[in-house]
């Protein structure tokens, strides 16, 4: 007994969690259907509901016209609307057209509401993802994240439309048909219809719940396969370097094989669901038709009544057959949107204070006071760093790999918040100012400039919105890349490829420098901007960076010491602590850690030469 309880408890907890998640999703989606201050949306929703009710009322009355036409042809009963067989036949056709017309008008009225909701939620999600911290993004898989967003956003319009126009209308139609059968015939017809519907709904929901679990497994495998494909394509060069095309194909095929197995289970379960639904509906149809046939034989009913009963059963069969699909898709939409709302509820690690003011840069002085930070709570990277970067000066930070150089740059740009101490610009703690104003004040040239898959013009102009062609060319000249761009067949309209792969490392860096110059920030952060380049290219980039740093406060994070010998101050980090600081000549004469690093690098360069 205990073993069984232990086995079922997690499943019950999962089901309860899913219900809570589904209710949460419905609460989150409802405001998009009835938004505050959007009168046109509410008017369209009301008009669409009116078209829905009209369509259902006409649809429920249509079989009565059909019965009247049959009775008129058979010479039985009293035809409705005092029309003859031909008139009733025309009325029947008009009623069917009106039903379809009102349904299409309903969809047309609601379409802008659904598209507005889709757009609003997509924008909210997109903005939120950009607000999330660097820590979140480096731990997430981009392919899987994009899939979650894609499925979730697509589920918005579906959920709004089908909850409003499928479940509600189905219930209304079933109630009306049951009432008509009860009124025109007797309670046994109602009993057969209600019993059939109850069994049908129970069977549909039970099997669909099972299928949702299979569908979730299929989604997981789909996400995994998509992630592997994107990851492999993003690392195209690495795959080629190691001749791993077959290995990547095998990994992708393994994911697709798992997806295929899950998809087959889903297909088999769908066949079982469709057959079960058809069996139950057919049994109900036979039951009602037998009752009607007996009534005709006794003379209690006309042939038109027999036909009308059949028409009503077929009429409720269509939405009932659709119920399984709608319920499954709604459940799946709830799951997909639940994943997306989980993402939206992911808190931003770094956020503005409620009273945050814009950063006011008067000179660009940067001060670190006893700064402590660790990416993980039990592993501190910076251990009480105190440093002053005077306005307009260039300060270089050097040290061995893992000493915390790049971490200072990330803290300055506030990708993370310090866990101890303070980091200030012109006396203002960066935690007290808005992130937008902070980012506007700092220009970054990273070790590997990543470009958008667009033109060179677009990538340079990205530094400042609404930049003119003259602005773009001016900074390109300052970055010493204008002549190269002008030599290209398409000039500034040249596409750079995914992540800028069509350009060399030096060309990408120059584009990155030009982009940063166009931003024209008072503070410049050079994060090992030349470490990935050859010596000749490095020298050329160094000249461009020197021009870029004129009149600005510059922090240079460097691995190659030869690139920072002219800095106003050099700071040596060792295991998260400053062990030395001073000018290049002063540090060499001291014969300490910097002198050791310099000697070692010079010896390595001489040996390479």
Interval 199-246: pLDDT, tens: 988 898 888 878 878 877 887 888 888 888 888 887 887 888 778 888
337-371 per-position pLDDT tens digit: 777 777 777 777 778 888 889 999 988 899 999 99
Q: Which residues, in sequence order, are bridge partners of residue 357?
A: 433
Q: Give the H/E segment covering residue 420.
A: strand 420-425
Q: Can you tell me the distance from the alpha carbon of 311 to that of 152, in angstroms, rounded to the nearest whole number?
A: 39
Provide the pLDDT for residue 18.
52
Q: Are 191 and 282 in contact (CB under 8 A)?
A: no
Provide the pLDDT for residue 422.
92
Q: Can you tell me the distance from the alpha carbon of 62 to that of 307, in angstroms, rounded to the nearest whole number?
A: 12
Which SS3 state, helix, strand or coil, does residue 364 take?
Answer: coil
Q: Can you tell me the distance from the alpha carbon of 258 to that of 75, in angstroms, rounded to the nearest whole number?
A: 64
Q: With the C-alpha atoms ordered 517, 523, 527, 532, is the resulting torsion angle positive or negative? A: positive
Q: Are 541 and 528 in contact (CB under 8 A)?
A: no
Provide the pLDDT for residue 1.
36
Low-confidence spans in the chain with pLDDT less than 70: 1-25, 77-79, 81-82, 133-147, 157, 161, 163-166, 322-325, 328, 499, 530-538, 540-541, 604-609
Q: Are 574 and 593 in contact (CB under 8 A)?
A: yes
Among the listed residues 548, 540, 555, the one whose alpha carbon sits nearest the alpha carbon of residue 507: 540
Beta strands in 466-528, from DSSP E residues, in sequence order: 523-527
Give me the helix-helix angle, 505-519 and 469-478, nearest 10°: 120
Q: With the C-alpha atoms ordered 305, 311, 314, 319, is the resulting torsion angle positive or negative? A: negative
Q: With the C-alpha atoms ordered 262, 263, 267, 270, is the resulting torsion angle positive or negative? A: positive
DSSP structure class, residue 36: T
Domains and CATH numbers, the chain: 116-344 (1.20.1560.10), 366-450+519-608 (3.40.50.300)
Angle 600-604-608 from CA coordinates, rounded to 5°: 170
Q: Are 553 and 389 in contact (CB under 8 A)?
A: yes
Provide the pLDDT for residue 571.
92
DSSP track, 370-395? EEEE-SBTTB-SEEEEEEEE-TT-EE
Q: Give the H/E segment covering residue 579.
A: strand 577-582
Alpha helices in 382-445 (DSSP H): 405-412, 435-441
Q: Are 434 and 449 in contact (CB under 8 A)?
A: no
Q: Can you tell me the distance from the alpha carbon of 436 to that of 350, in angstroms, rounded to the nearest whole number?
A: 12
Provide the pLDDT for residue 604.
60
DSSP structure class, residue 348: P
* Two structure tokens written together for 121: 């939620």
């Amino acid at each position: 007994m205990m073993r069984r309880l232990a086995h079922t408890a997690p499943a019950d907890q999962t089901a309860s969690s899913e219900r809570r998640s589904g209710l949460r999703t419905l609460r989150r989606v409802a405001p998009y259907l009835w938004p505050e201050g959007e009168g046109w949306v509410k008017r369209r929703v009301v008009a669409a509901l009116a078209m829905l009710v009209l369509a259902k009322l006409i649809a429920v009355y249509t079989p009565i016209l059909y019965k009247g036409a049959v009775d008129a042809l058979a010479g039985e009963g009293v035809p409705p609307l005092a029309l003859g067989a031909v008139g009733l036949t025309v009325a029947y056709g008009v009623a069917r057209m009106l039903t379809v017309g009102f349904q299409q008008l309903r969809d047309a009225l609601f379409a802008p509401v659904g598209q507005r909701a889709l757009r609003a939620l997509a924008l909210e999600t997109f903005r939120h993802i950009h607000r999330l911290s660097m820590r979140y993004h480096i731990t997430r898989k981009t392919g899987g994240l994009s899939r979650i967003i894609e499925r979730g956003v697509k589920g918005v319009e579906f959920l709004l439309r089908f909850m409003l126009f499928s479940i509600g209308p189905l219930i209304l139609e079933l109630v009306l048909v049951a009432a008509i059968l009860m009124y025109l015939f007797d309670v046994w017809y109602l009993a057969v219809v209600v019993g059939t519907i109850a069994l049908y709904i129970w069977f549909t929901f039970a099997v669909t719940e099972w299928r949702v679990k299979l569908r979730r497994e299929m989604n997981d495998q789909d996400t995994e396969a998509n992630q592997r494909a994107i990851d492999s394509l993003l690392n195209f060069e690495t795959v080629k370097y190691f001749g791993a095309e077959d290995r990547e194909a095998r990994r992708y095929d393994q994911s697709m094989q798992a997806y295929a197995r899950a998809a087959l289970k889903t297909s088999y379960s769908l066949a079982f669901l469709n057959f079960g639904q058809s069996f139950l509906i057919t049994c109900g149809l036979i039951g009602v038709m037998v009752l009607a046939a007996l009534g005709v034989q006794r003379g209690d009913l006309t042939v038109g009544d027999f036909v009308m009963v059949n028409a009503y059963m077929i009429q409720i069969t269509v939405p009932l057959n659709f119920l399984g699909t709608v319920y499954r898709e709604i459940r799946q939409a709830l799951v997909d949107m639940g994943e997306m709302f989980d993402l939206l509820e992911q808190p931003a690690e770094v956020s503005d204070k409620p009273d945050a003011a814009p950063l006011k840069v008067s000179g660009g002085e940067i001060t670190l006071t006893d700064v402590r930070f660790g990416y993980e709570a039990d592993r501190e990277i910076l251990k009480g760093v105190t440093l002053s970067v005077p306005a307009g000066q260039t300060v270089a930070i050097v040290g061995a790999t893992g000493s915390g150089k790049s971490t200072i740059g990330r803290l300055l740009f506030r990708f993370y918040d310090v866990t101890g101490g303070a980091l200030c610009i012109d006396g203002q703690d960066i935690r007290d100012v808005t992130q937008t104003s902070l980012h506007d004040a700092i220009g970054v040239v990273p070790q590997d400039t990543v470009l958008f898959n667009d033109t060179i013009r677009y990538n340079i102009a990205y530094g400042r919105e609404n930049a003119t062609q003259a602005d773009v060319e001016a900074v390109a000249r300052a970055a010493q890349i204008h002549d190269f761009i002008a030599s290209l067949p398409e000039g500034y309209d040249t596409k750079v490829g995914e992540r800028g792969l069509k350009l060399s490392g030096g060309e990408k860096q120059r584009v990155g420098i030009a982009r940063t110059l166009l931003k024209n920030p008072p503070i410049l952060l050079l994060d090992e901007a030349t470490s990935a380049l050859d010596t000749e290219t490095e020298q050329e980039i160094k000249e461009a960076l020197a021009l870029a740093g004129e009149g600005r406060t510059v922090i240079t994070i460097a691995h190659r010491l030869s690139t920072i010998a002219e800095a106003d101050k050099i700071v040596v980090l060792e295991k998260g602590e400053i062990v030395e600081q001073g000018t290049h000549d002063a540090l060499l004469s001291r014969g300490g850690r910097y002198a050791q690093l310099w000697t070692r690098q010079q010896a390595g360069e001489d040996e390479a030469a």
